[in-house]
Amino acid sequence: MPALPLPLSTICELACETSLLPRVRMAIALTAREVFSEGQDTPGYPLRWNLAKSLLSPTEAQAMEQMVGIVTSPSILAAAASAAAAGATNSEGMAAGITDEQLLDAVRANWDAVAGVNPAPAQPET
């Protein structure tokens, strides 16, 4: 497993960063709308759709529940580490270095896990 790009204490501060919450709420709402337009043949569709229904207008508490999963995604960790390397000295500065697209991608990547969709079984290599 690769080394963490930031100390756990810094990642924890980022997961609690209040300036990131409104953006996370909007990323969740946008992803919920995307899920509503999926076909019923999408793997895990009923669970994905039910989560979308419950998060169409996410509360701050619901966004906070997802923050740990979001900030620990590889692209978010890389963006925060890059912002720190560029001189960001606190979690607010690191959060500012995270793009909206990175947040959306992290929410999308975590959607199945939050919805309770089992991952596809790994196919044996031949």
Query: Could you tell me the CA-to-CA distances from 125 to 109, 118, 120, 121, 122 in Å, in that order?
Result: 24, 20, 15, 12, 9
Q: Which residue has the tokens 């669970």?
A: 47
Residue 119 has a pLDDT of 78
Residues of 12-24 as b/e, b for ≥16 C-beta within 10 angstroms?
Answer: ebbbebeebbebb
Residue 24 has a pLDDT of 97
Residue 121 has a pLDDT of 66
- For residue 5, how many other CB atoms are within 10 A of its CB? 16
Each of the 126 residues of the chain gets a pLDDT tens digit; together they read 568 889 999 999 999 999 999 999 999 999 999 999 999 999 999 999 999 999 999 999 999 999 999 999 999 999 999 999 999 989 999 999 999 999 999 999 999 999 999 876 666 666
DSSP 99: -
Residue 122 has a pLDDT of 64
Whole-structure pTM value:
0.89
